[in-house]
Amino acid sequence: MTESNESLGTIEHKAGSWEVRLTRHLTHNLAQVWEMLTVPAKLVEWLAPGEIELRVGGAARLDFGDSGIIIDSQVSACEPPNVLEYSWSGPGEPLRPVRWTLQPDGDSTRLELRLSLPEDENVARSAAGWEAHLQMLLAALEGVPIKFPFERFKASRDAYSEQLEAIKS
């Protein structure tokens, strides 16, 4: 991982919601990164068992097993191999769109993850969770999948909490 892959994302308050943007520069080509985001056998290496149907209106289902979290939503944007968006929620829950945007950069890929959350949700916790999963994605791309990195999660959550305090003051 490079220093830019250790940087925190940004949080912005918008009318009634929060938006988190995380950017990573990956030393893997676009096709490899897209595969990690969309192929069930690859998703399980860094996110959760599940399946994402690559069409607008297609199912986006991920099962986090022991945590009790089940994502059961629909794909709201799909432009292979550059854009994928679905809600990080289950039926009856508020929409929490997660948008992946991939851009080629030579033999590498620029990945941007944009997460939108309702105003009353714990944005620091959500952003830190994605920080941890992006660390897992980087490891899986290298062929050495890791378990959820709780230390990264805790440190990121604290840093995002500080960022939020600065925004609110």
Domain count across the chain: 1
Tell me the two tokens of residue 44.
């399980």
The string over 96-125, giving b where at least 16 C-beta atoms fall within 10 Å of a residue's C-beta and e elsewhere, is bbbbbbbeeeeeebebebbbbbeeeeebbe
Burial environment of residue 27 by CB neighbours within 10 A (0 to 12, 13 to 18, 19 or more): middle
Checking if the pLDDT of 153 tops 90, the result is: yes
Instruction: Give the structural domain span for 81.
Output: 3-168
Residue 28 phi, psi (nearest 5): -125, 150
Q: What pLDDT digit, counting tens, does each position of 56-91 carry?
A: 999 999 998 877 889 999 999 999 999 999 999 988
- Give Dmax over CA atoms of the chain in angstroms: 44
For 4-8, what is the mean pLDDT?
62
Q: What pLDDT is recorded for position 163? A: 92
For 1-22, what is the mean pLDDT?
78
> Interior CA angle at 23 toward 118 and 74, to 5°?
45
15: left (phi over 0), alpha (psi -120 to 50) or beta: beta
Tell me the two tokens of residue 120.
């009353």
Q: What pLDDT is recorded for position 99? A: 98
| pTM for this prediction | 0.92
Checking if the pLDDT of 3 tops 50, the result is: no
Instruction: Compute the Cα dihedral for 41, 147, 71, 158 and give only its sign.
Output: negative
Domain of 135: which CATH number? Answer: 3.30.530.20
